[in-house]
Amino acid sequence: MPSRPEIGLLELGTVPYAQALALQHRLRARLIDGDVSPGFAGWLLVLEHPPVVTLGKRGEPGDLVQPEQLRAQGVECFEIDRGGEATAHEPGQLVIYPVVDLEALDLGVVDVVRGLAAELSDALGTFGVEAAYDPDHPGIWTQGEPSHKLASVGMRVRRGTTTHGAALNLVNDLSTFSMIVPCGMPQAPMARLADLVDAEEDSIQPLSFARRVYPGLESLLGAELRDADVELPTADDWAEPINY
């Protein structure tokens, strides 16, 4: 048995939101049912999504301020069980979902939420961008005036197991955000790393950026990240979008 818990690292590329949500639920069920090896504490999903909007527990269809345009572009919308309101995902945005057993890691959900945000903020700092988590408006915001939102952060805990996570704007075009009320804040000033730094584009692609964060996440979680494989849910098991 390893000296530290193991977490399976899943670098999944671009995955439809419906499929990724079904995968999170499947992996959560395995942890809750104890269908894992001794010393195994969960998975870290690292991926991107095609354009999609999600509504947290405080979100509502009225947050979709340009529904006709969203529909015309084929953007699906999902009501999900994380906290918060509306946010968007797009290709070029780094999405990290920790599906982990908090008891096995001896952590609370606040530890994971704020720790994940801190590790992403630290990685932004390596590009000279000062940013930090704001618990009053959950997410990662640039420092100084005016402040801009770089990442959404929100999780759900069920029977001690987490789902959802963080989405950091890197090279996505932000167009989907213009058609919603992001995080319940009309005219919320969204930003992406590509517009804040003069860096080689390869260095700020989602997977390249994620790999800067892994050592800090291992320290935060007190666990070892190990490459893992998983069978993705077939379309019959995908989550269903809402009609809007």
The residue assigned the tokens 């340009």 is: 66
Tell me phi and psi for residue 17, to 5 degrees.
-60, -45
Strand-pairing partners, residue 166, are 96, 153
Q: How far is CA 82 from the centre of its chain?
A: 11
> Measured on CA atoms in the order 20, 56, 121, 129, is the torsion positive or negative?
positive
d(CA 105, CA 172): 33
Give, in order, the Cα–Cα distances in Å from 148 to each of 68, 164, 167: 27, 22, 14
Residues taking part in catalysis: 183
Place of tokens 């990240």: 225
DSSP 210-231: HHHHHHHHHHHHTSEEEE---P
